[in-house]
């Protein structure tokens, strides 16, 4: 009987201890890093308990010669242990990305307090962006995480494991989404591309869509062609292979038109094909001129300096009833 009582008491004490341990933790949803004047400037978004079905959070700021020092300085007057295992987003300024990316990656990978499942983005106004979402009674980190999961827009969805793969693999260059704020709205319609781990240019919204198509990152894609005709893909699959010193890029786009089209089937397929090929060729040629390869095209070729390629697009129409022959055709 005594053994049962002792065991029961231990379970109770263990439960109380664990509860106290969790209550002493501060869950970090967002971490923003900047580097100015030889110092790291950090912003931490700390989640608060849900109240009245509303989520809330607050921010802490700190500066230090190292990331560790900056985080410690941010939590000097804080009586809880910072917990990064539920981190949703790591924001890195342009300056920090160009000068201290290796330090940042080293810190988040060797600290077992971090998971590998958080998004990473470039953001030069993190405080403004975070506070804007907090004012809407939402947690910025979770809000951004949901944006990256949304397939309605062509966002570059990069998590820590993706970034590490590109950083460590010589066949890839780094690409990171850019978070901006416009009229109190979070905008993610650009991406930074790197060469030798330095940001050299940005990709626009159309380029982001083509990037996703080439890597089969399935998102909704709307192709606008002449006469305000819009072809919407429901599915796409791109095959890339290397034969006879040529890189063959074969995208298959399955979709339909958003409204009736007055052309015969063959003509409209040709229209879509020609228009898409032009956009894809322009995108690839731009990457080649910048000598940046976030797609990893060079991993297919034997010649790492030059890429000779051919594009052969296959268009599959899901709804042919929207195509009709006009009176003049």
The C-alpha atoms of residue 247 and residue 308 are separated, in whole angstroms, by 6
Is the pLDDT at 8 greater than 80? The verdict is no
Q: How many CA atoms lie within 13 A of 9 on its CB side?
A: 6
- The pairing of strands 175-182 and 185-195 is antiparallel
With beta carbons less than 8 A apart as the criterion, state whether 174 and 122 touch.
no
Q: Average of pLDDT values for 242-249?
A: 91
Q: Average of pLDDT values for 239-246?
A: 91
In the chain, the percentage of residues whose pLDDT exceeds 70 is 85
292, two tokens? 């940046």
Sign of the four-CA dihedral 136, 142, 147, 149: negative
CATH number, span 216-322: 3.30.300.210
Cα–Cα distance list, 101 to 106, 112, 139, 290, 293 (Å): 8, 19, 26, 21, 18
Domain ranges of the chain: 1-203, 216-322
Measuring CA to CA, which residue among 62, 75, 162, 68 is closest to residue 110? 68
In the chain, the percentage of residues whose pLDDT exceeds 90 is 60
Beta bridge partners of 315: 253
Confidence grade of residue 328 (pLDDT, cut at 50, 70, 90):
very low
Q: Is 129 helix (H, G, I), strand (E, B) or coil?
A: helix
Beta bridge partners of 15: none
List pLDDT tens digits, range 177-225: 999 998 889 999 999 999 999 999 999 999 999 999 999 999 889 988 8
pTM here is 0.86
With beta carbons less than 8 A apart as the criterion, state whether 197 and 176 touch.
no
Q: Kindly give the residue spans of alpha helices, DSSP state H, lying in the chain.
A: 2-23, 67-74, 94-110, 126-135, 140-149, 160-168, 205-214, 265-290
Is the pLDDT at 2 greater than 80? The verdict is no
Is the pLDDT at 96 greater than 60? The verdict is yes
User: Higher model confidence: residue 321 or residue 153?
Assistant: 153
In the chain the first and final C-alpha atoms are separated, in Å, by 95
């Amino acid at each position: 009987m005594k053994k049962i009582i002792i065991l029961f008491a231990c379970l109770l004490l263990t439960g109380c201890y664990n509860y106290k341990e969790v209550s002493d933790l501060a869950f970090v949803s967002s971490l923003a890093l900047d580097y100015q004047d030889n110092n790291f400037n950090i912003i931490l978004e700390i989640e608060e308990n849900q109240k009245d079905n509303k989520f809330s959070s607050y921010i802490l700021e700190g500066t230090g010669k190292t990331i560790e020092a900056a985080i410690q300085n941010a939590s000097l007057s804080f009586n809880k242990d910072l917990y990064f295992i539920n981190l949703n987003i790591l924001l890195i300024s342009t300056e920090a990305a160009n000068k201290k990316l290796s330090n940042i990656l080293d810190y988040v990978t060797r600290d077992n307090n971090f998971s590998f499942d958080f998004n990473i983005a470039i953001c030069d106004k993190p405080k403004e962006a975070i506070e804007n979402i907090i004012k809407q009674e939402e947690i910025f980190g979770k809000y951004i995480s949901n944006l990256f999961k949304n397939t309605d827009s062509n966002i570059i969805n990069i998590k820590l494991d993706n970034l590490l793969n590109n950083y460590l693999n010589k066949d890839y260059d780094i690409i990171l989404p850019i978070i901006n704020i416009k009229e109190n709205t979070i905008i993610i319609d650009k991406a930074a591309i790197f060469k030798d781990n330095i940001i050299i240019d940005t990709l626009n919204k159309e380029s982001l869509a083509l990037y996703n198509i080439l890597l089969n990152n399935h998102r909704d894609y709307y192709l606008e062609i002449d006469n305000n005709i819009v072809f919407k893909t429901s599915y796409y699959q791109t095959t890339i292979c290397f034969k006879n010193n040529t890189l063959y890029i074969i995208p298959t786009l399955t979709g339909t038109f958003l409204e009736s089209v007055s052309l015969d089937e063959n003509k409209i397929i040709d229209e879509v094909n020609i228009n898409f090929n032009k956009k894809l060729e322009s995108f690839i040629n731009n990457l080649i001129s910048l000598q940046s390869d976030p797609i990893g095209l060079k991993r297919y070729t034997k010649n790492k300096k030059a890429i000779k390629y051919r594009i052969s697009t296959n268009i599959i129409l899901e709804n042919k009833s929207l195509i009709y022959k006009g009176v003049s055709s």
